[in-house]
Amino acid sequence: QVQLVESGGGLVQAGDSLRLSCAASGGTFSNYNMGWFRQAPGKEREFVAAIKWSSSDTYYADSVKGRFTVSRDNAKNTMYLQMNSLKPEDTAVYFCAAKLRYGSRWPLFLGDEYHYWGQGTQVTVSS
């Protein structure tokens, strides 16, 4: 069973950048496809980005495509989300999630498909 801990959130201004990290422990990180989700106050959780276990493929929500980049370093058991050109509508709690890669379909953009979740990190973008 893998444990996930997000970090890197904060308060920034519109147009700024942030890099989120998701540190994994308790499992073999390279066995998992990984994803980022976010949830704004009063809204449902939404998919942001996903990356295959080998980094061979990534997938993005239309709302972040071209601004956000997901990556991972399996040697460091860590996934990243580089967020550029941030907008106030990006304000949310960001969660990372993991799903075992064996038998997994792709792309993975449904939260219910992921097995493990972190506690989240708050990102606030002021206008």
What is the Cα–Cα distance from 30 to 93, expressed in whole angstroms? 25
C-alpha angle 101-79-115 in degrees, rounded to nearest 5: 40
The whole-number mean pLDDT for each consecutive block of 10 residues of the chain, a chain of 127 residues, reads 96 98 96 98 97 96 98 98 98 97 90 96 97
pLDDT for the residue 115: 94
pLDDT for the residue 124: 98
C-alpha angle 19-20-21 in degrees, rounded to nearest 5: 125
